Amino acid sequence: MSVTETKTSASPEMLKLIEAKRQGQAHSIDELSWFINHLSDIPDYQITAWLMAVCINGLNEDETINLTKNMAYSGHVLTLKREADHVHDDHEGDKENCHSIHVNSSRGFVDKHSTGGVGDKVTLALAPILASLGFKISKFSGRALGHTGGTIDKLETIPGFKTDLTMKQFEKQIQEIGIALASQSTEFAPADKRLYSLRDRTATVQSIPLIASSVMSKKIAGGADIVLLDVKVGSGAFMKDVKTAKELAKLMVKIGKAANLNTKAILSNMDQPLGSAVGNGPELVEAISLLEGNCDNDLYELVMELAGTIASTIEIDDVIRSGKAYVKFTEWIEAQGGNMSKIKEATTAKFFLEYRADSVGYVKELDALKIGQAIHELSYSPKADGSYDIDNAAGLWLKAKIGEEVHPGDILFAVQGNDEAALADTANKIIDAYLFSEHKVKKPKLILKRYS
């Protein structure tokens, strides 16, 4: 029986765990190992009771680390082929004609995770930049969740792009071009899938130990050596306050270190959308623009910050300016069936509506949550069967962000999409996210904290 299948009869052993956690007692390594190994034998209502007890009384660091490791090894763990940098002497013994040749060089396997934010298209640019620097990018991504966009959704804007890869295809692509990104596989950390489905239905999602173990169990199972974490905080993030975000970031770094992973985390500001674009198609276009060397906003700052934790600024700039990062992006997209020549057509909307300022002032606030919700509604139209019709070309281009001065006639933003009637309503929602001031406003700090 798989961990996603359930029984209905109560487990006496599980009852003891629930009682212990209800009283605030810590679980032993053996107890947590038993729990995950017997997850398929435990009914939903007992797991839910335990999850609620954890939400109330928490897990200590040791418990969280042990739970994470057990979850990671509840399914397939990817063992990526390590190719050590070595020297081949093709004229052994002949010092004058000896040539040392470095082959099969790799700077490590990298996985990156964001806790989710509005306009967050960082992975689309960061992955090819790091791959062009010699790192191997191994990443499984998710779809849109609530008001935040999903990396998979953005990539599927590209005609032909395949996100459903077999493990053999995934590993082969990493070895051949240094980068592979696929939709989350049920083979990895199935215990997390079971627990998360119950958390999502029982108001037990917002628990720092449970969030940390969920994220890091999949990173361990994904086989990376280096894990980059972008913990977002603010109105457009799932973490609304800095204190909670700091707690999550520090805990995930500790879990990573306990699993011998080079783990680095940053706290980034999500009180306003990241970059200029919001929406699947526009965000893809902005990420490509960065790779072509045309982006110098906060998106570029965040990409440079994350890449800079494992590489130098000089070499990062070099692969962008030289076009190597864009070439790697093209190589990656085509390897997964994407048609680069059709991206422009797929991201061009039929209708475009600009909204202009009617007075002088400074942008004081730009509510990321309101914007994320508005663009999600514009892009995703629910159908009777519970699925969605998706307009990948729909989205927003921000021209004025917090701290910027505007004058009458200046463009504040532009919305685009293939449903003309919906654009005016969306524009009204976007302008409602703005707050202006007569006085000069300081631009917000993007990077709030670093952990390693």
Catalytic positions, written as ranges: 113, 192, 199, 214, 218
Q: Are 338 and 152 in contact (CB under 8 A)?
A: no
Phi, psi of 353 (to 5 degrees): -130, 120
Q: CA-CA distances (angstroms) from residue 82 to 127, 135, 175, 219?
A: 19, 12, 9, 17
β-pair partners for 363? 436
Strands 361-366 and 434-437: antiparallel
Range 249-268 burial, b when 16+ CB lie within 10 A, else e: bbbbbbbbebbebbbbbbbb
Q: CA-CA distances (angstroms) from residue 351 to 94, 416, 419, 423?
A: 70, 6, 7, 8
Q: Are 440 and 362 in contact (CB under 8 A)?
A: yes
Distance CA 259, CA 70 (A): 11
Distance CA 25, CA 57 (A): 9
Distance CA 446, CA 43 (A): 44
Q: Which amino acid is at 15?
A: L
Distance CA 313, CA 356 (A): 37
Strand order of the β-sheet with 179-183 is: 179-183, 136-141, 109-114, 226-233, 262-269, 447-451
Distance CA 159, CA 407 (A): 40
- The H or E element containing residue 59 is none
Output the CA angle 300-154-201, nearest 5 degrees.
110
Q: Are 336 and 165 in contact (CB under 8 A)?
A: yes
Alpha helices in 58-207 (DSSP H): 61-72, 122-132, 151-155, 167-177, 190-201
Q: Which amino acid is at 297?
A: N
Output the CA angle 31-194-64, nearest 5 degrees.
40
Q: Are 426 and 378 in contact (CB under 8 A)?
A: yes
Distance of CA 325 to the CA centre of its chain: 20
